Structure 1
Amino acid sequence: MKQLLYTLSALAVLATTACRKYVEISPVNVRQLKYTKDYQGLLYNSSQLMEKTYLYPLYASDEVWTADGTVWQTNLNINLGYAYCWLPKIWAETQEDPDYATQYQIIYNTNIVINEVMNSEGGTDAEKLKAYSEALVHRAHAYFTLVNIYAKQYDPATAATDPGVPVVLQTNFTSSLKRVSVEGVYNQIIGDLQTARPNLAVTSDVNTNPSQAAVYAMLSKVYLNERNFIKAGLYADSALQLKNTLVDLNAYAAAPTTYPNKSNDPETIFSKVVSSFVSTLPLSNEAVNLFDSVNDLRYRMFTQPGANIPVSNFTNRGTYKHRLANQGIYVGPKVPEIMLIKAECEARAGNTSTALTVLNNLRRKRFTTTGYTDLTAATAQDALQLVIMERRIELMGTGARWFDQRRLQKDNLISTVSRPFKGVTYTLAPGSNEYTFAIADKYILLNPEIEQTPR
């Protein structure tokens, strides 16, 4: 069946009208979808779109901070400022939420491939299955992003009834836009990933393309968020069996700008990036003090004083890793993150020695050879604390801390956060509704069936 392929240049919009639609489509470069290569092009030619994730959670995390009245605060985009202050409402009634819109735009593209590529012409069954499966992985990642921004943290006791996000699996505009439960969204994600895996390459030469290693890595993240630590650890193992290369920072300490860029970073399992350019993020004193400033090469390579970062507009230290290659902030699953999931699951299982072995294998590649010493822990709980600290250091500036703040409240590991902004001090307490972003009013006004997140 012939379908029109649209270059999707406008933002995604959930809407119900006489002609119901959930994606605004700009019909640029219209041609007909017919051949398998057309559907492959929808995935590969839109690789920049497919890589995009989120922006606003970066500014909400407790690792970002500046003193009151800095130029950084004055110049900060108004909506990012609202996210930085954890305000209940970030968007005016007429405004798009680009994080929300981008993920549904990705979902629209992937739904076209998933629903139509197997009936396309000119491709082998293997080629069709590969495109179908890659689309499933991208869709799963988009829903994982959405449910962890706009829904409550997965809680096994309440996930079946907590509202998640609308799940749209077709390309027509008549699907229900009611929010599926958090459990339902997670089940969809897991189902997509498990269906995709057998038809994918073990690893991919192009790290923006899904692979079996990427599926295992994503499943480890999904189950970690579900607090199913046994499965999270098993899938982390599976991912690391397929891809486990670590970069030794000692090889780049003398010339940090030679650090591998996005396309050839051997640690990257599945490339995903922040959805918009970020010059740098100012780091809180608490975050900076986690580093061994003398021996940890991440301190000197991946953070810099604000005065040394062009257009930083603050004086405290800021994030710098993404500036080395100027290719955006990487937030997709990488070998270090999956190692940290493995270490966390081992610590939670009481396997202190194994957790520390994994943790130290990572840290050994991050410290000067003369200044490195293994971490030790007397108990599994102590080991868990070390893993959480290492997550904060290794994943700093990627938004991972915001998602950890959400999930680690269950372990009583998150404290109340306060910070000043333009003369007012704002506070975020554990259990606050502001740990879940509201869905922009525009989408709810157009679609009354979408329930707003509790504020």
Structure 2
Amino acid sequence: MKKINPIIVLILLSGILLSSCEKYLDVIPKGKKIPQNIADFEAFIQNPDMHFNDMTTPVQLTNEFYTNSAAINAVNLTSINFNWIEDKSRVDFLESDEAYNNAYKGIYYSNLIIDGVPDAIDGTPEQKDALIAQAKTLRAMSYFFLVNRYAKHYNAASASTDLAVPLNLKPDFEQVPPQVTVKEIYDLILSDLNSSVAALPAKSKNSYCPNKATGYGMLARTYLFMKDFDKALINANLALGQSDVLFDMVKYYTDNKKTIDATANPTLPKFDFLNPENYIFRFGSTSNKLQGLYITGSIPAKDSVRFEPGDTRYRINFKPRKVGADTICNFFRMDDFNGGGMRSPEMYLTKAECLARKGQFTEAMTLVNTLRKKRIIPELYADLSATTEEQAITYIRRERNNEFFGTGMNYWDLRRFNTEPKYAKTLTKIYNGQTLSLSPTSHLWIMPFSRKAVQNNATLKQITEL
């Protein structure tokens, strides 16, 4: 990996660690050295601080992780989300919001690059265009994260009036960015991606740096969430044309089977950051950066049935253990975790969904099975087939849920499918002898802004008060 410029790191840390990006102030202290050459700006792109998309709270809402009863035995932010308590205010427990702060921190860096690179004292026009394109791609990813967390899901009929998040396009210390609509955020995302993809490099220097596959992949993801399946399909094909490699998890399991099966807490070769599937690597939360999913990624034992018996995504990541009276499946593999980025399997499944929506069920399931052959051990593998859209979508959703465990993709998928009556799902569970449910129309699907965010931005209105 390219070494990060220590001067730039010092500049960033001196400002960022002492102030919240909810204020959009003092990110680079006045009077300090500012980036001037291409190497300085490249250091921003490769700085891990630019690569956080924290989905901890949404994952709590979908009950994707095991949550110890001790963490939810009182009314707090975790218990409200985990147990779907609709009459308590999450805002009361949300003084500040790391997910919001880190996203806007990354956006600030992107804006700094976009504004500053044209005046860099060195670099070719091609180098400058590529850096600006990478910054626009990262900005688009951050805004996609924000709009699909703090606003209603995209609806063409209401997107021009549905409020979303603040739109910040300049590295301006003093500005208070206006809150704009869902349509305006999506328009920016598409503009950033469409205007930059041609200038993106075909290959990245490392997994932090967007390339053409990232750009086309983000366009496919965005159009999928807008239900423009034709354009999503076009861009998924373009992304796969750049990189369609799938990591052979079956071979990885076979190569390490003795250690995995015989050891309670095995040490396995790391692969996530260098995974050939990566279009881009982005951390989820700051805890993921420190320890991956090793501490937080456990699931209730009953949820292990969502994986097929021969699924190596379960076998190389989870082992059963007791926690008090509970039996859980503990995520034991200590590795980096691509919790906020993008990998080629997403494009296989995006393309499959688009084909299923067009009635091409055989072609859709061929893509699903291509992925599954790299995940399911041969002696337990059998092709899946579908004869209806609903059947194909069911298989595709299961694969997305298992493939992107811990990334928050299930939360995003539930939100978008909840806008379609035939796919909307009410979540139910029994907790402490009570049957609890989360309807597709619950306000809990929209995350509130923190109190500090509202205090620091007079234009900001809560989408949900609870």
TM range (shorter): 0.7 to 0.9
1:30-179 equivalence runs, <5 A: 30-44=32-46, 46=47, 48-54=48-54, 55-65=56-66, 70-71=69-70, 73=72, 79-86=77-84, 89-92=89-92, 95-175=95-175, 177-179=177-179
Q: Which amino acid aligns with 1:358?
A: L
Which stretch has the larger CA shift, 188-197 or 53-62?
A: 53-62
SS at match of 2:418: helix
* Post-superposition CA distance 1:27-74 (Å, at most 9, x none): 499423322322222222x2x1122111322222143355xx745656
Identity in percent? 27
- Residues 332 and 318 of structure 1: CA distance in aligned 2, closer, same or farther (over 3 Å): farther
Tell me, yes or no, if the aligned pair for 1:306 and 1:314 is still in contact at 8 Å. Answer: no
User: 1:404 & 1:316 partners in 2: Cα distance?
Assistant: 28
Match 2:404 to one of 386, 395, 410: 395
Question: Could you give the per-residue CA deviations for residues 1-50 of structure 1, whole angstroms, max 9, x where no partner exists?
Answer: xx9954433453334xxxxxx24537499423322322222222x2x112
Q: Which residue is equivalent to 2:21? A: 13
Q: Distance in 2 between matches of 1:137 and 1:318?
A: 36
* Equivalent residue letter for 2:387: A
Change (3 A) 1:42 1:120: same
In structure 2, the gaps of 5 or more residues are 1-7, 261-266, 288-292
Alignment partners' CA distance in 1, 2:318 and 2:124? 48
After superposition, the C-alpha distances for 1:326-374 in whole angstroms (9 at most, x for unaligned) are: 3235331111111111111110111111101101111111111122110
Match for residue 280 of structure 1 among 273, 289, 296: 296
* Correspondence 1:264 to 2:274: yes
Q: CA RMSD in A?
A: 2.8
Residue 381 of structure 1 pairs with residue 390 of structure 2: yes
Structure-2 change in CA distance of 1:153 and 1:282 (3 Å): same
In 2, distance between residues paired with 1:112 and 1:314? Answer: 51
Superimposed CA distance per residue, residues 97-154 of structure 1 (whole angstroms, 9 cap, x where no aligned partner): 0000000111111111111110110222222222211111111111111001001111
CA distance in 1: counterparts of 2:214 and 2:269, whole angstroms:
22
**Kept in 2: contact 1:220–1:232 (CA 8 A):** yes
Aligned length: 435
Aligned partners of 1:314 and 1:437: how far apart in 2? 32
Distance of 1:235 and 1:108 partners within structure 2 = 27
SS in structure 1 at match of 2:340: coil
The SS at the match of 1:224 is: helix
Aligned mates of 1:190, 1:26 — CA distance in 2: 29
Pair 1:420–1:243, CA change in 2 (3 A): same
2:4 matched residue in structure 1: none
Check the 8 A contact 1:282/1:314 in 2, yes or no. Answer: no
Q: Does the CA contact (< 8 Å) of 1:246 and 1:365 recur in 2?
A: yes
Does the 8 Å CA contact 1:6/1:31 hold for their aligned counterparts? no
When the two structures are superposed, what TM-score results if normalisation uses the length of structure 1?
0.87
Q: Distance in 2 between matches of 1:29 and 1:51?
A: 27
Normalized against structure 2, the TM-score is what? Answer: 0.85
Within 2, Cα distance between the matches of 1:417 and 1:64? Answer: 15
C-alpha separation in 1, matches of 2:407 and 2:234? 24
Question: Which segments of 5 or more consecutive residues in structure 1 lack a partner in the other structure?
Answer: 16-21
The CA deviation string for residues 207-231 of structure 1, in whole angstroms up to 9 with x for no partner, is: 1101011001111111111111111
- Could you say if the C-alpha distance between residues 421 and 104 of structure 1 is closer, same or farther in structure 2, counting changes exceeding 3 Å? farther
Match of 2:314 in 1: 299
Residue 422 (structure 1) shift: 8.2
Match of 1:19 in 2: none
